[in-house]
């Protein structure tokens, strides 16, 4: 029986038995990263489709069958099915990139639904068909798949070509692929995080199951982060640079008391760069929920943009890339180092390194996205950087963001770059759509969640935006004090000036002169004139250009006129010029 429509006319479709065999092969592979319920989800949608019941594969049905949800299940308020479907899609992408690159049958779950799609691999010889001959003439492109031959060199070439084809066809797991003729070098998939087997004390079978389930949860949560590559089998990890890490875990159980111990080890020197303990009461929370909560906390602490991986190696300013060493990951570290220090020296180092990275690895979407953010900072942080106004900064930022999304439209850094570039270009619709897409892709990416929250809030949705900003602060997101100033604005707009002042003083006032401007506005509104004038005097001495451009800078950030007026009212009582501009300046 024909199960799925072929995408190419005249191509034979996989048989049911071939599909089932492929499903079992995927489920048995160590490279298919999914917890037990995800595996049940995958098996359910495949078998139901083969039985002719694909029309019943709705969120409600899956929630009832796989997750044990009641008939009152509301897919709008409970995203469990969408989240698990996304995890399975990423698991399938990884499987076909790593272990299944030569498989004949391809199983995918297209976005927008839960019905799987089955097809033979591109250029796969159909059963009973003779392989196409290879034309050895110069300039002729080899087919992406060839039958196995006795020539080792030919076999290696086939494998490389097959991997390249699948890298291009997948949805951009790495976002890096070499161009033909060695015109571009593919960026190495760094950093690599090997998730070791989680140990458990004693011979408690329940503890063993919890340890395995927690490891599966951690793998699933880490796999959501585009900036790392997660490996479940250490023997298959390729450590081509020092950017390799092992995540280790141990489970201890005493009745209902559970302790999970986790640590991240840098493989180059066996240094433990991060460790933490997580305690839980199994009497108060189910094992599945406990695993989900701890797995999320571990993944965020390790892999968020300012987490353990991206902080431990950012103390040195990046050196120029050479042909033999270094890569896009080095420039990513340079970017985070710059954002922590926010000065002209580290900004230049990050910008130059990322420029080199995009030249050497032009298919690295992340490098283009971070370069876009560095260019944009020349405009939005220019009073901190001391950089002269650049008419090209916003254009260069927009061009780099466009390159990033062209390479990988789902890359979370690319979406973040589009969000920020569009926001500061006053294109709120595009900005908020990109932010929503990035947040939906990985809500655990605190940098994206926090920045999206800021854009929502400053666009006028203070309720939703401030909730995301608060969550980012609670998870230690971003450079020190960056989101605290957002919380100050949230409190100010709600009329809670006491809380606004506390949050403002908790922000790093040295990070950006705009932080001091926020504090000055709050103090002015509170009637604390003497303290407010101290901030004014500091700004006059250290950021005089900002003091001459306050209305434009406020309008560039706060999109609604009533929000601008509320903010500026705290400055007017101090005699600060607040005449509104005709339109925001690009400075």
Tens-place pLDDT, residues 387-402? 776 778 999 999 999 9
Examine the domain organization and report whether 25 and 166 are in the same domain: yes
pLDDT band, residue 158 (cuts 50/70/90): very low
For the cut 70, the answer to whether the pLDDT of residue 9 exceeds it is no
Same domain, 206 and 308: yes
Number of domains in the chain: 3
pLDDT for the residue 74: 65
Question: Is the predicted pLDDT of residue 132 greater than 60, yes or no?
Answer: no
pLDDT value of residue 534: 94
Share of the chain above pLDDT 70, in %: 78
Task: Tell me, yes or no, whether 160 and 31 share the same domain.
Answer: yes
Domain, as residue range, for 511: 445-572
Q: Is 486 helix (H, G, I), strand (E, B) or coil?
A: helix
233 domain residue, yes or no: yes
User: Do the domain assignments include residue 245?
Assistant: yes
The distance from CA 226 to its chain's CA centroid, rounded to whole angstroms, is 5
- Residues with Cβ < 8 Å from 185, sequence gap 6 or more? 178, 360, 361
Handedness of CA 564, 339, 174, 323 (dihedral sign): positive
pLDDT at residue 123, as a whole number: 52
Closest CA to 51 of 78, 79, 20, 13: 20
β-bridge pairing 117-120 and 105-108: antiparallel
The answer to whether residues 219 and 103 belong to one domain is no
Same structural domain, 29 and 167: yes
In a domain, 268, yes or no: yes
- b or e along 77-113 (b: 16 or more beta carbons within 10 Å of the residue's beta carbon)? eeebbeebbbbbebbbbbbbbbbbbebbbbbbbeeee
Same domain, yes or no: 124 and 255: no
* 423 pLDDT more than 60: yes
Q: Is residue 264 part of a domain?
A: yes
Question: For the chain, what is the largest distance between any 2 Cα atoms, rounded to a whole number of angstroms?
Answer: 88
Q: Which of 48-52, 269-273, 395-399, 548-552 has the highest mean pLDDT?
A: 395-399
Asked if 452 and 555 sit in the same domain, the reply is yes
Name the helix (H) or strand (E) containing 105: strand 105-108
Residues 214 and 108 in one domain: no
Give the CA angle between residues 279, 280, 282 to the nearest 5°: 150
Are residues 211 and 118 part of one domain? Answer: no
Give the tokens for residue 281: 């009461």
Instruction: Clarify whether residues 162 and 64 are in a common domain.
Output: yes
**327-364 pLDDT tens trace:** 677 788 888 888 888 888 889 989 999 999 899 888 88
Q: Is residue 79 part of a domain?
A: yes
Question: What pLDDT band is residue 182 in, cutting at 50, 70 and 90?
Answer: very low
In a shared domain, residues 167 and 199: no
Q: Is the pLDDT of residue 147 over 60?
A: no
Is residue 361 assigned to a domain? no
**What is the DSSP secondary-structure string of 201-248?**
STT-HHHHHHHHHHHHHHHHHHTT-TTSEEES-GGG----SS-EEEEE
In a domain, 488, yes or no: yes
The whole-number pLDDT of residue 11 equals: 53
* pLDDT over threshold 80, residue 472: yes
The answer on 59 and 29 residing in a single domain is yes
- pLDDT tens string 316-336: 444 444 444 446 777 888 888
Of the candidate ranges 178-182, 315-319, 351-355, 567-571, the one whose mean pLDDT is the lowest: 178-182
Q: In this structure, is residue 288 part of a structural domain?
A: yes
């Amino acid at each position: 029986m024909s199960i799925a429509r072929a995408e190419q006319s005249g191509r034979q479709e996989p048989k049911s038995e071939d599909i089932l065999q492929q499903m079992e092969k995927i489920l048995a592979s160590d490279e298919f990263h999914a917890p037990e319920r995800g595996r049940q989800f995958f098996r359910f949608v495949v078998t139901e489709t083969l039985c002719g019941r694909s029309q019943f594969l709705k969120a409600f049905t899956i929630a009832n069958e796989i997750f044990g949800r009641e008939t009152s299940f509301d897919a709008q308020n409970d995203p469990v099915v969408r989240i698990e479907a996304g995890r399975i899609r990423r698991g399938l992408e990884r499987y076909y990139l790593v272990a299944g690159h030569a498989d004949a049958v391809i199983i995918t779950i297209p976005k927008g639904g839960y019905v799987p799609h089955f097809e033979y691999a591109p250029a796969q010889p159909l059963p009973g068909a003779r392989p196409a001959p290879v034309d050895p003439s110069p300039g002729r492109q080899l087919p992406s798949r060839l039958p196995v031959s006795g020539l080792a060199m030919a076999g290696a070439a086939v494998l490389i070509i097959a991997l390249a084809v699948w890298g291009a066809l997948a949805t951009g797991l790495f976002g890096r692929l070499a161009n033909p003729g060695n015109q571009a070098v593919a960026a190495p998939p760094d950093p690599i995080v090997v998730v070791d087997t989680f140990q458990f004390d004693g011979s408690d079978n329940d503890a063993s199951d919890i340890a395995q389930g927690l490891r599966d949860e951690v793998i699933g949560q880490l796999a959501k982060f585009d900036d790392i590559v997660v490996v479940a089998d250490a023997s298959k990890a390729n450590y081509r640079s020092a950017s390799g890490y092992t995540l280790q875990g141990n489970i201890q159980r005493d009745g209902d008391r559970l302790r999970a111990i986790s640590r991240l080890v840098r493989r180059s020197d066996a240094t433990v760069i991060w460790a933490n303990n997580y305690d839980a009461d199994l009497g108060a929370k189910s094992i599945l929920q406990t695993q989900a909560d701890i797995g999320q906390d571990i993944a965020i602490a390790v892999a968020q943009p300012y987490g353990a991986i991206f902080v431990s190696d950012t103390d040195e300013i990046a050196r120029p890339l050479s042909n033999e060493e270094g890569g896009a990951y080095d420039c990513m570290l340079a970017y985070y180092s710059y954002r922590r220090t926010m000065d002209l020296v580290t900004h230049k180092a990050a910008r130059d390194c990322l420029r080199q990275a995009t030249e050497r690895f032009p298919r690295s979407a992340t490098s283009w996205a971070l370069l876009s953010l560095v260019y944009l900072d020349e405009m939005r942080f220019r009073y901190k950087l001391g950089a002269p106004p650049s008419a090209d900064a916003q254009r260069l930022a927009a061009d780099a963001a466009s390159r990033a999304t062209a390479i990988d439209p789902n890359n979370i850094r690319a979406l973040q770059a589009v969000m920020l570039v569009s926001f500061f270009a006053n294109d709120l619709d595009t900005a908020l759509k990109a932010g929503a897409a990035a947040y939906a892709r990985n809500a655990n990416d605190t940098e994206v969640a926090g920045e999206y929250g800021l854009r929502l809030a400053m666009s006028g949705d203070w309720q939703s935006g401030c909730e995301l900003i608060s969550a980012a602060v609670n998870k230690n997101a971003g450079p020190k004090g960056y989101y605290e100033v957002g919380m100050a604005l949230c409190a100010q707009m709600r009329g809670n000036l006491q809380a606004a002042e506390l949050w403002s003083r908790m922000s790093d006032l040295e990070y950006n002169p705009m932080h001091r401007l926020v504090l000055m506005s709050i103090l002015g509104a509170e009637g604390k004139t003497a303290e407010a004038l101290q901030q004014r005097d500091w700004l006059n001495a250290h950021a005089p250009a900002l003091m001459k451009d306050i209305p434009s800078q406020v309008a560039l950030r706060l999109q609604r006129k009533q929000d601008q007026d509320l903010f500026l009212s705290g400055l007017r009582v101090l005699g600060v010029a607040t005449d509104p501009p005709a339109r925001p300046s690009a400075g």
